[in-house]
């Protein structure tokens, strides 16, 4: 099921990228080649991306989200353990001393 979902997301994304490229291809073909300066574009992107980036803030957010995931997993495991203990108690209560005598009759 997860493979089907991820595969469908992949194909939808690929189709979306293809549509965007088809729409922008005429505009890009009309642009003069000498105006495109790759170094300026790359430096501008790096400046914008790294401007507000903080390692401490990133680490804080990552650890907070990791803690939430761990707490959810711990809670789920606790519920599973509780259910298993209840089933074990029910199983022990269903097996009484006169079980074999009832079975012989």
Per-position pLDDT tens, the chain of length 105: 889 999 999 999 999 999 999 998 888 778 766 666 777 788 888 777 777 777 888 899 999 999 999 999 999 999 999 999 999 988 887 766 677 777 776
- Residues 6 or more apart in contact with residue 46 via CB below 8 angstroms: none
What sign has the CA pseudo-torsion 39, 40, 45, 49? positive
The domain spans of the chain are: 1-53, 54-105
């Amino acid at each position: 099921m997860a493979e089907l979902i991820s595969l469908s997301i992949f194909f939808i994304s690929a189709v979306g990228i293809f549509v965007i490229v088809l729409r922008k291809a005429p505009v890009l073909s009309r642009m003069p080649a000498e105006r495109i300066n790759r170094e300026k574009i790359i430096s501008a992107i790096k400046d914008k991306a790294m401007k507000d980036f903080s390692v401490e803030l990133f680490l804080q957010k990552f650890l907070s989200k990791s803690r939430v995931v761990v707490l959810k997993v711990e809670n789920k495991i606790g519920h599973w353990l509780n259910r298993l203990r209840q089933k074990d108690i029910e199983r022990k209560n269903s097996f009484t001393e006169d079980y074999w005598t009832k079975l012989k009759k």
